[in-house]
């Protein structure tokens, strides 16, 4: 984290995206990886911390919308419309 702080934001962004995918999140424990990264971040610089928090928050609402949209499409297809 200290050697490559820019990569940590991309990694957290990717893990947050993987957590929102329905079948992938059942196989890979992205939440555990995010918790592990959170404990490492606690020991890092405050600037790195806020960069990573911003990366995770940037994907929070789009991933929720993606999950909601997928469930809406599946329910619409099952209803036979």
Helix axes 30-41, 46-78, angle to 10 degrees: 160
Q: What per-residue confidence (pLDDT) applies to 47?
A: 73
Map residue 21 onto helix, strand or coil. Answer: coil
Q: How far apart are CA 41 and CA 20, in angstroms?
A: 22
pLDDT digits (tens, 9 = 90+) for 1-20: 667 777 877 887 788 777 77
**Vertex 71, ends 26 and 65: CA angle to 5°?**
90
Domain count, the chain: 1
Q: 52 is in which domain, residue-wise?
A: 5-78
pTM confidence score? 0.60
The pLDDT of residue 1? 63
pLDDT score, position 27 = 80
56-71 per-position pLDDT tens digit: 777 777 777 777 787 7
Q: What percent of the chain has pLDDT over 90?
A: 0
């Amino acid at each position: 984290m200290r050697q490559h702080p820019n990569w940590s934001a991309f990694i957290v962004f990717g893990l947050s995206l993987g957590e929102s995918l329905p079948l992938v999140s059942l196989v890979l424990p992205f939440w555990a990886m995010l918790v592990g990264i959170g404990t490492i971040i606690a020991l890092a610089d405050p600037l790195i911390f806020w960069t990573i928090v911003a990366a995770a928050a940037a994907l929070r609402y789009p991933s929720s919308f993606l999950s909601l949209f997928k469930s809406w499409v599946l329910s619409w297809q099952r209803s036979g419309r």
